[in-house]
Amino acid sequence: MSFDFVSLTNVIISGVLTGLVYGLMALGLSVIFGVARVVNFAHGEMMTLAMYASVILFSAFELNPFMAVLPVAAIFFVLGYGLQRWIVNPFVTRPEHTQFMLLLAIAIILTNGQLIFFGPDARSVRLDSLLESIALGPLLIDRGKLYAALVALGTAAALFSFFRFSRGGTAIRACADNWLGAKVVGLNVKQLYALAFGLGSLCVAVAGSMMILLVDLTPSIGPGYRLLAFVIVIVGGLGSMNGALVGGVLIGLSEALAGMFILPSAKSMFSFALLIVVLLLRPRGLIGGQR
Amino acid sequence: MNPRSAFLLAALAIALIALPAFANNYFLSVATLFLFFAYTGQAWNIMMGFAGQLSLGHALYLGVGGYSAAALYFHYGIGPWAGVWVAIIISIALSAFLGALAFRYGIAGVYFTLLTIAFAEFARIGFDHLSWTGGSAGLFLKVAQRDRIDLVNLRGPPAMYYYAILALSALALGLSAWLLRRRPGYYWQAIRENEEAARALGINTVRWKILAVVISAAMTAVAGVFLAFYYNNLFPEQIFNINRSVEIILGPIVGGMGTLFGPIIGAALMSLLTDGATEGVAALGWDIPGVKQLIYGVILFVVIVFLPDGIWPAIARKLKLKR
């Protein structure tokens, strides 16, 4: 096997940067689960929807994804809020499998709606300004990946500070810890659930807007990213926000290394193996486990 | 069973047995697929409907069963009657492993479901790279002589496949009814309703849950063998796809989980609706991929929101039948 230290470092950097975008996507899933206790089965499909929104804004208005991310995120926040408020909320007290089925149905409708609406052709957004890599000595850093990772990191930081410092964030955390207690002290639990779902959707919208710079988009990639998000949050710990980011970076890294050393097409097999091992050894995830 | 239900069941059986005499090949293929999903739905129903363990990875057993029998036939000429036992044994071993790992480590609910998906996906990508079974390019069996019935190698005209899957569905119904009225059925329902209470009563919940998973998996593997010899081709991207797992569970969910006839009614309704819709869409001249799945999604959504118990309990009440 021929590899040298420089190309290995390049692969690691690329894996970590992609992993941060994965992490933001998974963070959305984790916020939704952590608060409303609902597994968003439509997560990957929502991300492809955000990616299509970016593609359309780019081709129609020449709005590049770093600008388009703002309206897309705002729309997704509203959509997520509405989805939880009017469709999912009646289901939070129903058995788990019913919630699963509801969101799975939404996922199927989204994927095939996209397939019917946008067709099966691959789309992408390529910005000329991102073509040139940044050279750091012998290392080459992909500009698109770097900026995407920075946006993901910034969004995650904003979300963390919202949860830590704002009244709304504190209320959501109270709700996640003990919804009955939250209700007793007068918080509007249903609205806070909807707010959490909106924030989770916002994360996935930002992640999608960045992901369009990194991969080609077809309607059929949604389920793959949904599974990827599951793998990440379980590895990191379902409901743990730090865990989602750490899990994202871990999976990004393992995919990049598996692509280099084994087979690029077998990279997700590696992730699923990691998932099975983590589920068996630490079912609550690497960072979760307070419950 | 009251006389009314016995009469209806007998009428249904006669209609299904007589059907190939009246149906053309297209209708027969629709009916075969309906029975296929009635059968797999009943298999899944044992695990989820009876024992309350949600699997979204049943495509795993379909694929492993289909691939093991098809590979034996392809490489060594070993026919499906021997191959099906290999498929059953492999799927029992696999599902017992999955069940034992999950239940011993206390993986339940969401985590268990995600584990079943992970196993199926793992197998899908694994078979993509397994050259012995043709990898992602697929495994092809010699296409059957459609005019001669060769029961030994399960090669023959469409009506033969129809009767094969009809027999399997009838056996599955009999097995489900028998299990439900014996010790396993009562234990499973106790576990489904309240696992803690079941354990407090002295039921070894881990062992009984594994039994449900194993029976369900073995039955699904047999369906995989049928699928392999019916279509004569296998692709990991298709047979292990999570969409297969979803199609398997639609019948029981739409029809009514945990009931005996729910999976069958649900599968019949789904076949009628989706084929009717596909035909209708084709007749309108819209040849758009995804319409059929979109209809699946909409039906699933409507049923979950408005009829969370499925349609069979509602029908049974109307007809004054025992559920």
Query: Taking the model in full, what pTM does it have?
Result: 0.86
Q: Which residues of A153-164 are buried (b: 16+ CB within 10 A; e: fewer)?
A: bebbeebeeebe
Mean pLDDT, chain B, integer: 87
Tell me the chain B residues in contact with residue A265 when contact means C-beta distances shorter than 8 Å.
Answer: 125, 128-129
- CA dist A234 and A226 (Å) reads 12
pLDDT tens digits, A203-226? 999 999 999 988 889 888 888 898
Q: How confident is the model at residue B145 (pLDDT cuts 50, 70, 90)?
A: low
Q: Which residues, in sequence order, are CB contacts of A135 under 8 Å at separation 6+?
A: A141
From the candidates A32, A108, A110, which should be mutated to test the interface with B, based on the most B CB atoms within 10 A?
A: A108
Q: Does A233 lie at the interface with B, CB-CB under 8 angstroms?
A: no
Q: Which of B181-185, B298-302, B316-320 has the lowest mean pLDDT?
A: B316-320
Encoding tokens for residue B208?
Answer: 């009984």
Tell me the chain A residues in contact with residue B126 when contact means C-beta distances shorter than 8 Å.
Answer: 269
DSSP letter (8 states) at residue A86: I
| Size of chain A in residues | 291
A204 vs B99, B225, B297, CA distance in Å? 33, 40, 22
Query: What's the pLDDT at B34?
Result: 93
Q: Does A74 lie at the interface with B, CB-CB under 8 angstroms?
A: no
Task: Read off φ and ψ for residue B234, nearest 5 degrees.
Answer: -140, 130
pLDDT tens digits, A102-139? 998 999 999 999 998 888 888 888 887 777 778 777 78
Mean pLDDT, chain A, integer: 86
Residues of chain A with pLDDT under 70: 1-3, 288-291
Nearest chain B residue to A228 by CA: give it.
B118
Q: Does A178 lie at the interface with B, CB-CB under 8 angstroms?
A: no
Q: Which of B59, B42, B31 is nearest to B271 (CA)?
A: B31
